[in-house]
Copies of this chain bind each other. A is one copy, B any other.
């Protein structure tokens, strides 16, 4: 590491961070310009810039040209969350990973899914339901729709050796997407699939993936009871 080197951007950043967290600079306060700070720390302005830019990315500082740099009033507005790759998440805990194809059908999606796929309301698409298990115990239930306008080759795929997710990642480049975290009460169907009580509160991750012109797929992952998504800052 370079933390000991007094002029590394990490060392500089750490000291600036300390000044912020220890209230040496109060929230909302204007701090010295890059150039002055660089001189004070005896480093190049680019080094100071990198340190400050990082803190701004983390939400600790707010920077504006001409206006200068201020300590953010409300720190820590964002965290990075690792999106689990199911297979790895299960195997990294030393558990056996399997998946079970519960359904693979072509039919017309309900209206909400049609809207998400940005598709003609009468056009059929591929509907796939999968259960992923850890040591034979239900881990997460996946309810996926694949847009056949965007991924026509999906209808010929058996998904017997590769899970839908792994197959899609290899098949189709994607560019953007959105994620939604929420909670639901287990329906009778989901309770059966995940071996829990009906009504049980379950953690849910909805993901919609797009390429340049199309929505590729939309998927809802419903996790087993007690599942947690952790992160640190």
Q: Which of A106-163 contact B (CB under 8 A)?
A: none
Distance (Å) between the CB of A60 and the closest chain B CB? Answer: 11
Stretch at the interface among A34-42, A69-77, A92-100: A69-77
Q: Are A199 and B199 in contact (CB under 8 A)?
A: yes
- Copies of this chain, complex-wide, total 2
Q: Are A173 and B232 in contact (CB under 8 A)?
A: no
CA distance A74 to B175 in the complex (A): 14
Which residues of chain B come closer than 8 Å to A231, judged between CB atoms? 178-180
Q: Indicate if A2 sits at the interface (CB-CB under 8 A).
A: no
14 contacts between A and B (CB under 8 A): A20-B173, A21-B173, A21-B175, A74-B88, A74-B169, A76-B177, A79-B80, A79-B81, A180-B230, A181-B181, A181-B203, A185-B201, A199-B199, A200-B201
Taking Cβ atoms with an 8 Å cutoff, the residues of A that contact B are 20-23, 27, 74-83, 85, 88, 169-170, 173-186, 199-204, 211, 223, 226-233
